[in-house]
A and B are shown apart, each in its own frame.
Chain A
């Protein structure tokens, strides 16, 4: 198993684009972007600054290395207010994976744990806009969202029950930036997940109780056809920062040097 992971890692640079071999990050060039969410202060879209994003979601093996180096984030040691009791419950022990495979994306991680992992790499979680911007691409286009086939592909992942084992990272075709597995693998934490408070009752339309939300959170969706994005936001807004689920992982981002 370890050998196969090593082989995969060796192959990885071949898939990448415009990045030095072995680099876990790619540079995502900035640009104008219209989110599927309606930000009141960005009615005409926004501009995404260039940033660096991990090619792949963080794996069990990578997260294991992190908790070895940072014992305070080991299962059983992390404070429950920062990581719920099921934190890393797919592992057989605090420092052993058991049946969890090293190359599977790490799940059952809270937002706090994910943020701590990224901080330890001198990185941070991507913002929703950064994540959505990178995830709007397909293999050849920077914005494939209008293509029904792109949507269908994402929806087809939603249509699979998640009772089977998670697939390994690295097997997904890199998108135009060289980023892999943004769709079809796991949900991913974003830095401002707690601000993504879409209404718990999707049908409230304009009458949503905006007082419950603050700042950028007075959100509603701009693109009703973009169910694929909508469902990801719905998932993120259903969880609290200490929560974890079996399908929610993460990857890190960085500002350009």
Chain B
């Protein structure tokens, strides 16, 4: 085992030296192998992007000096429809601007704090090697600029955030984002890259309570968020703003979790991640349904879209998705691919045995029957409800049945010939050949012994008075008599 690893390691070392990706299981060497010497060429100004966009690959095979200029802005923005919140932002958005550099780059970081800011701010980048991750070197008063420089020694996807007192409040107000440190060979090419970041938010008002909502420190300390959101506001990635892709494309998501409190069970409904670089690290896991993203952590997900439609990004701690806002949409356009996913093939009612939508009509009819003043109308109403529960599954809600399998009850000459056949078949079942409206059927209807005499009478009366049948009524007494004569029905009698 040990022996077989050696050649791999050798390859890995070679690879990192000449700008290729390490073999899958090889050790990258971490920070000890991340210094590729002094920066070469002219300094480069980093391209920063607002979510959900990701800057283009650096496309470099040499370390460079990269200048990052990030401005802190405190601003009021919508957190939900009709609800505003004062966010503290890196670059004017939540999450903050996406930063992309290459391993070995020397990053000259400028943090500007807008003149109309109320608070001092700083930045801790998890991709920095050094105490505080830059925090102590970037403490910046309103209307000031700080500068510090670091060498990005480790490849990976890293969270950055504000670390000024009180840290929790600064993070809860949206002060986080992602910095990608590309491995020397760059990221494997894909068709689309997107930037999504989860965060939990704490407002004094309830979820979706309108108006301007202040931060609620007590809820934050208790870790009871009002909102759990992707990209800082409800609906930031739905409707017209949904992430877009086409079938056949390979998509990569850079997903971070700013917290401040919650851990995310990140899942895309209807997709399986072909590859996940869990925790933003180097070696991918394959074929993953849901990946855990810690607060202050990130992950990279690659997948290929085969089937068109809407894919829903959620925190699978699922109440957060449907009751606190942690929902986003990835919309895939393209031709259907029925061999992989058929779409809906069957859509019919299944209500279980007794799961009836509204039993009021049934109980009214039962009460009336007991009182002895049951009308035909009451029987029809009760029968309609019962029919939709038990009978419509085969005979269909419109009584048309299913050609060649389930005989029609609508305009049925079989019923017209003898209306008592209805209670008889319900109680005793029917097996074998039967001709209805000139069509021969040969199948089995089991006895519906679970139905009471009342129910049999009401269903039969409903059928008799529906869909062009001759009308009339079946009484409870008639149903009872039929059951008494039926060998099967008597067994199931109540």
Which residues of A are interface residues toward B (Cβ below 8 A)?
A: 86, 148, 151-152, 155-156, 158-163, 198-204, 221, 227, 230-231, 233-235, 237-239, 243-247
Contacts and interface: CB of A to CB of B under 8 A. Distances in A.
Interface centre among A160, A162, A202, A247 (most CB of B within 10 A): A202
Interface in B40-99: 74-76, 86
A246 B143 contact: yes
Interface of B: 74-76, 86, 115-120, 122, 124, 131-132, 135-137, 139-144, 163-167, 169, 204, 214-215, 217-218
Contacts of A201: 122, 124, 131-132, 135-136, 139, 163
Given A86-B143, A200-B122, A238-B140, A161 B165 contact: no
Contacts of A156: 214
Nearest to A198: B165
A112 to B, nearest CB: 16
A243 B141 contact: yes
Given A148-B218, A162-B116, A238-B120, A202 B167 contact: yes
Given A162-B116, A163-B75, A238-B144, 11 more contacts: A155-B215, A155-B217, A160-B118, A161-B74, A162-B74, A201-B135, A231-B169, A233-B165, A234-B164, A238-B140, A239-B120
A203 B135 CA distance: 9
A7 to B, nearest CB: 30
Contacts of B137: 200
Nearest to B137: A200
14 contacts: A158-B119, A160-B86, A162-B116, A162-B118, A199-B136, A200-B136, A201-B163, A202-B165, A202-B167, A203-B132, A227-B217, A237-B120, A239-B144, A243-B141
B296 to A, nearest CB: 12
Given A201-B135, A247-B142, A235 B120 contact: yes
Nearest to A209: B136
B142 A246 contact: yes
Given A203-B167, A234-B164, A246 B141 contact: no
Nearest to B88: A161
A161 B144 CA distance: 17
B169 to A, nearest CB: 6
A237 B137 CA distance: 14
Contacts of A239: 120, 141, 144
A151 B141 contact: no
A236 to B, nearest CB: 9
Nearest to B75: A161
A254 to B, nearest CB: 28
Nearest to B139: A200
Contacts of B142: 245-247
Nearest to B203: A159
